[in-house]
Amino acid sequence: EVKVLLRRLKRDNPNIENSIFRSIHGVALDTMPGYKTEGQEHSFLERFDRVEAELQKELKEKQKQEADKTE
């Protein structure tokens, strides 16, 4: 099915294969819902969870600093 689609697209745009090939070089992995590298699958949730944990840690540190100031 993909080959048929490419043939149809190629009729309108003879450079479609080059365009598709170039487009994969600009992919921002942090916007992809998932990807596989070195045989391991990854999800954007891994990064989301890590960033959320870092923000929670920073918030707790700021709250502790504020509490220490009032003592």
pLDDT in tens, 10-30: 999 999 999 989 988 888 877
The total number of residues written for the chain in this structure: 71
For residue 45, pLDDT beyond 90: no
CA distance 12 to 21: 17
Spell out a b/e string for 34-58, using b for 16 or more CB atoms within 10 Å of the CB, else e: eeeeeeeeeeeeeeeeeeeeeeeee
pTM of the model: 0.45
Looking at the fold, whether 19 and 44 belong to one and the same domain comes out as no
Look at the chain and report how many structural domains it folds into: 2
Looking at the fold, whether 21 and 41 belong to one and the same domain comes out as no
Looking at the fold, whether 37 and 69 belong to one and the same domain comes out as yes
Looking at the fold, whether 37 and 19 belong to one and the same domain comes out as no
For the segment 32-45, the average pLDDT, to the nearest whole number, is 88
Looking at the fold, whether 64 and 49 belong to one and the same domain comes out as yes
Looking at the fold, whether 39 and 25 belong to one and the same domain comes out as no
Looking at the fold, whether 37 and 62 belong to one and the same domain comes out as yes
For residue 32, pLDDT beyond 90: no
Rounded to 5 degrees, what are φ and ψ at 35?
-155, 165
Looking at the fold, whether 37 and 5 belong to one and the same domain comes out as no
